[in-house]
Amino acid sequence: MAVVIVTGASRGIGLAATSFLLEAFNATVVAISRTRTPELDALTTAHPGSLQAVQCDMPPAFTAAIQSVLAKHGHLDGLILNAGAIEPLVPVASADTPLDAWRTHFEINVYSLITALKAAVPSLRDSPKGGRVVFVSSGAAILGIAGWGPYSASKAAMNSLNRLDYYWRLRHWHEEEKGKIVSIAVRPGKVDTNMQGEIRESGGLHMAHDVHQSFVREKREGLLLKPEQPGYVIAALSLHAPESLSGEFVNWDDERCREFRRPS
């Protein structure tokens, strides 16, 4: 049975991907998150033998959690790096936002990824199914939005890390690991999650008015995606992403991901 670690699994896209891995792909899942939610607890109760929920925050605890997974299950096949925060929503030069707020943001959105990779890659290399890493990215990685400096920078760093991983795999891992790890960054689109709520609630202070109002309007008109839409694709890619997509940044509904969409 495949074993997949999902970070940021307590709600939204992470919770949806966890649910699909359990119920559609018959995988064993270790859900790592900073918080526990009733939804994740209910999923844990429903799948006591195949879902382990681990609550932890910063890198040292994160490393220990992943090592405990490897000790318990003996192997790892997929890693979904979904944990993320959007705060602080501030201009880059804001005098009211201490530098420590940026550091905290990057601890969550960047350094946790590196921590997870360093802990998980040795086991992913040995996966009998071929190890896979899915970075849950954002359009903010390539689009400039006023007030989103920390988030845009951290998501761009995520994409670059994926590309860097791709470069190493071709030039170094191709010889030593024979291409056994496939990594892909996925843009999930605008999804109806808590993060969208934070944008609508506090983003208006620093975002351009028309841009902020577009987020408000899309929620009001029911235009946001459901977490289950990109969540299914992300779950499927964590087990079956092809070598041809490794190192790529793709939209969740990209034509190249068609075969990984949820059956209608």
**3-class DSSP assignment, residue 221:** coil
Q: What is the pLDDT of residues 47-97, one digit of tens each?
A: 998 999 988 866 677 788 778 878 888 889 999 999 889 999 988 887 777
pTM over 0.85: yes
String of DSSP letters for 85-116 = -----B-TT-TTS-HHHHHHHHIIIIIHHHHH
Q: How far is CA 259 from CA 38, 62, 231, 236, 244, in A?
A: 32, 33, 14, 9, 14
Average pLDDT, the chain: 89
Q: Does residue 197 lie within any of the structural domains?
A: no
**Could you give the CA distance from residue 264 to residue 40 in angstroms, rounded to a whole number?**
25
In a domain, 78, yes or no: yes
Domain count, the chain: 1
Q: What's the pLDDT band for 165 if we cut at 50, 70, 90? A: low
Mean pLDDT over 216-220 rounds to 97
Query: Which is more confident, 119 or 66?
Result: 119
Burial environment of residue 122 by CB neighbours within 10 A (0 to 12, 13 to 18, 19 or more)? exposed
Residue 177 pLDDT more than 50? no
Range of the domain at 98: 3-191+226-253
Write out the H or E segment, with its range, that includes residue 185: strand 182-187
What are the catalytic residues?
Answer: 137, 151, 155
| pLDDT of the residue at 173 | 44
**Is residue 213 one of the residues assigned to a domain?**
no
- 8 assigned to some structural domain: yes
In a domain, 244, yes or no: yes
Residue 9 has pLDDT above 90, yes or no: yes
User: Rounded to a whole number, what is the largest CA-CA distance in the chain?
Assistant: 52
pLDDT beyond 80 at 161:
yes
pLDDT for residue 221 is more than 60: yes
Give the CATH number of the domain where residue 138 resides: 3.40.50.720
Q: Provide the pairing of β-strand 132-136 with 51-55.
A: unpaired
List the strands of the sheet with 182-187, edge to edge.
Answer: 51-55, 28-33, 3-7, 78-81, 132-136, 182-187, 249-251
- Least confident residue range of 159-168, 178-187, 229-238, 244-253: 159-168
Evaluate whether residue 199 is within a structural domain.
Answer: no
